[in-house]
């Protein structure tokens, strides 16, 4: 029975991250927005609208019994596949810089991969919980779930959006492993994925350029390594306490689109090591609470659902921080709750709502 309040700590961490995101989107984008749109509040107003929509989506899902998601898994799967296919249809799909990742009309657009992430997690959690006795078998348990992961992976990779496709694969493996698959099977799949990833990198010049920029960004500071070098300049300039909110120099047309994937660089410059550490701590606390909810879930479906959502947000957080600190090649992964973007924010907050709903059913004797 649902007699418990939601996990207040998880809700608090989420709202703090969203609030920080709104402040940093305005700080990072105001100068560029005035220059391009003649309105310094342009990006803030849009982000605030999406945050409001995300809040209502979170509240709705917080009160929507997560068990019903299992009932609608096939609908989610089919809708996701259709939407992912529509990005390639002229007039419906929106192509930006050679990538077809959005669908919409005019100023209204959504990124179907955000819906696909939720669909994948629900489908895998349901399949494994219903056929838990098969998961130890590679061909009877692991392969059927890998096929689902593979379908989403291929469609998203064709956009092309290798970073999101890679995240889909990682989260899928996490759910399959937690669901009971043998570690040897998972390690074999990781090895295979590494080989395929290497082949895909060498297959496209722009991916090779990203790897080269990561290995030595200073070699081509005005070319391939430009964005990474500017990010490091921003983080280094922040010092311990930062240069002050709104006083970033790197956002002044040095870092392209500073409100997007590299917003953490601006945050580190303006708020310093202390501010950056505070945000990282909030994410780590969020992940801990999410895993705690998974551990206390009353059933395997709820457990795997919570693990999937927590790992999805956690992986995106880790990848984004790794990119802006030059710890891995640029991937184009936004920082959850903080980077500018409508689809990402709304659907991420909806996922938090599912986590909060699962927390209402928590078994206090577990975990």
Residue 215 placed within a domain: yes
Residues of the chain predicted below pLDDT 50: none
CA distances to 34, 179, 181 from 171, in Å: 39, 12, 14
Q: How far apart are CA 230 and CA 228, in angstroms?
A: 5
Look at residue 156 in the predicted model and tell me its pLDDT: 94
57, 354 contact by CB (below 8 A):
no
Residue 305 placed within a domain: yes
Look-up of token digits 């505070």: 278
Residue 176 placed within a domain: yes
Residue 299 placed within a domain: yes
296, 364 contact by CB (below 8 A):
yes
* CA angle centred on 14, ends 306 and 153, rounded to 5°: 50
Q: Return the structure tokens found at 16.
A: 């703090």
358, 126 contact by CB (below 8 A):
no
Look-up of token digits 């956002």: 251
pTM of the model: 0.94
Residue 1 placed within a domain: no
Look at residue 102 in the predicted model and tell me its pLDDT: 87
Residue 135 placed within a domain: yes
Is omega for the bond preceding 160 within 30 degrees of 0, making it cis? yes
CA distances to 32, 160, 244, 333 from 321, in Å: 23, 22, 21, 10
Look at residue 364 in the predicted model and tell me its pLDDT: 63
Look at residue 155 in the predicted model and tell me its pLDDT: 95
Residue 160 placed within a domain: yes
Look at residue 254 in the predicted model and tell me its pLDDT: 85
Per the structure, the complete domain to which residue 179 belongs is given by 8-359
74-99 tens-digit pLDDT: 999 999 999 999 999 888 888 877 77
Residue 364 placed within a domain: no
Q: How many domains does the chain have?
A: 1
Q: What is the CA radius of gyration of the chain?
A: 20
């Amino acid at each position: 029975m649902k007699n418990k309040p939601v996990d207040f700590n998880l809700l608090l961490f989420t709202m703090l991250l969203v609030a920080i995101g709104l402040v940093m989107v305005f700080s990072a984008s105001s100068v560029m927005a005035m220059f391009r749109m003649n309105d310094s509040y342009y990006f803030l107003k849009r982000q605030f609208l999406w945050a409001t929509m995300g809040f209502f989506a979170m509240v709705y899902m917080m009160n929507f019994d997560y068990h019903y998601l299992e009932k609608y898994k096939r609908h989610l799967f089919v809708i996701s596949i259709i939407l992912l296919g529509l990005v390639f249809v002229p007039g419906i799909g929106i192509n930006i810089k050679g990538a077809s990742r959005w669908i919409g009309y005019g100023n209204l657009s959504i990124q179907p991969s955000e819906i696909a992430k939720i669909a994948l997690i629900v489908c895998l959690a349901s399949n494994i919980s219903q056929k838990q006795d098969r998961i130890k078998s590679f061909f009877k348990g692991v392969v059927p779930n890998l096929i689902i992961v593979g379908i989403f992976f291929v469609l998203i990779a064709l956009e092309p959006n290798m970073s999101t496709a890679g995240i889909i694969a990682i989260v899928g493996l996490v759910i399959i492993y937690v669901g009971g698959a043998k570690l040897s099977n998972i390690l074999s799949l990781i090895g295979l994925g590494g080989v395929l990833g290497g082949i895909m990198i060498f297959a496209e010049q722009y991916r090779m350029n990203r790897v080269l920029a990561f290995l030595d960004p200073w070699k081509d500071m005005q070319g391939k390594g430009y964005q990474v070098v500017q990010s490091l300049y921003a983080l280094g300039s922040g010092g311990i306490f930062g240069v002050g909110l709104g006083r970033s120099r790197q956002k002044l047309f040095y870092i392209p689109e500073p409100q997007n994937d590299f917003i953490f660089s601006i945050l580190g410059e303006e708020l310093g090591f202390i501010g950056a550490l505070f945000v990282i701590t909030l994410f780590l606390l969020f992940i801990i609470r999410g895993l705690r909810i998974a551990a206390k879930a009353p059933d395997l479906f709820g457990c795997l659902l919570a693990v999937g959502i927590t790992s999805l947000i956690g992986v995106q957080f880790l990848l984004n921080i790794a990119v802006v600190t030059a710890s891995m090649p640029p991937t184009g992964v936004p920082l959850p709750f903080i980077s500018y973007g409508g689809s990402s924010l709304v659907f991420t907050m909806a996922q938090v709502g599912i986590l909060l709903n699962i927390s209402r059913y928590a078994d206090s004797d577990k975990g």
